[in-house]
Amino acid sequence: MNLPSYHCVLCVQQEEETIQHLFFECPFSQACWIFLGIQWNLSLPPLDMVITSRENFGSTIFREIVILATWSIWCHRNSIIFDNKNLSFMAWRASFVREMDLVTLRAKPVVKEQINSFFE
67-89 residue pLDDT tens: 999 999 999 999 999 999 999 99
Q: Cα(57)–Cα(52) distance, rounded to whole angstroms?
A: 9
Q: Looking at residue 116, what DSSP letter applies?
A: H
Spatial distance between the Cα atoms of 57 and 50, rounded to a whole number of angstroms:
10
Q: Where are the domains of the chain?
A: 19-118
User: How much is the pTM?
Assistant: 0.92
Instruction: Say if residues 48 and 81 touch (Cβ distance below 8 Å).
Output: no
- Mean per-residue pLDDT over the chain, rounded: 93
φ/ψ of 106, rounded to 5, equals: -115, 5
